[in-house]
Amino acid sequence: MKHLKSTIRFNTFGIGNQCNHVFLKMLAYSGKGYMEVAYRADSVLAQMVRLLTMSSAPVLTGTFLFFV
């Protein structure tokens, strides 16, 4: 399981202003993912599309920069 730790990203999505935004943000941050919140019912679809668009983008990992 240790080899999967760096390849899995956690994305979080909250609905309404009663959800725990700090928890969702920290979970997404620790999982190297994204966090999105929809405050109104009519914006859930747009926010979900935004989250899925961001999370479907490839992430470049395991790279190193060497300066000589």
For the chain, domain boundaries = 2-56
pLDDT digits (tens, 9 = 90+) for 6-64: 677 889 999 988 989 899 999 999 888 899 999 988 999 999 999 989 888 877 777 78
Amino acid letter, residue 50 = R
Tell if the pTM clears 0.85, that is, is over it: no
Distance of alpha carbon 42 from alpha carbon 9, whole angstroms: 27
Mind giving me the DSSP string for 34-48? Answer: -EEEE-SGGGHHHHH
Three-state DSSP class for residue 12: strand
